[in-house]
Amino acid sequence: MRILLDSVILIDHFNGVSEATEYLRQTRSEAVISVGTRAEVLTGFDANATNERKLLDEYPLLEVTKPIADLAASLRREYRWKLPDAFQAALAKHHELRLATRNTGDFPPEAHEFVSVPYAL
């Protein structure tokens, strides 16, 4: 477990972005998702999204615990992040993971060493 996949990576995959699909293939054994990412990705599908759920089920799921919630609150105060972004950052930091994202507006990699941008569009 070395990589926390941000929602945008999975959404790109489901939207047919080949770079995302290739990244997921390359990192499959190292990647996890958060409960927030699962919820955000599934929001884009109807209740019968069987294939999409199957793919998400392949990834270990990180939940928000009390220490992670406390860290998210601290990060949110410090960086003025929206709560979902603060949770992603807290999960990555707490579990010593790289956050794979294209969201460089909220997570500029030059300012946050835990951030990784696997591809650009």
Question: What pLDDT, on a 0 to 100 scale, did the predictor assign at position 49?
Answer: 84
For residue 15, give Cα distances in angstroms to 10, 12, 44, 45, 114.
9, 5, 11, 12, 26
Whole-number Å distance between alpha carbons of 7 and 100: 9
- Residue 90 CB coordination number (10 Å): 24
Indicate the domain borders of the chain. 3-63+96-116
* Token output for 37: 């990412």
In this structure, what are the phi and psi dihedrals at residue 85, rounded to the nearest 5 degrees? -70, -40
pLDDT in tens, 43-65: 999 888 899 999 999 999 999 99
Cα atoms in the 13 Å half-sphere on the side-chain side of 25: 7
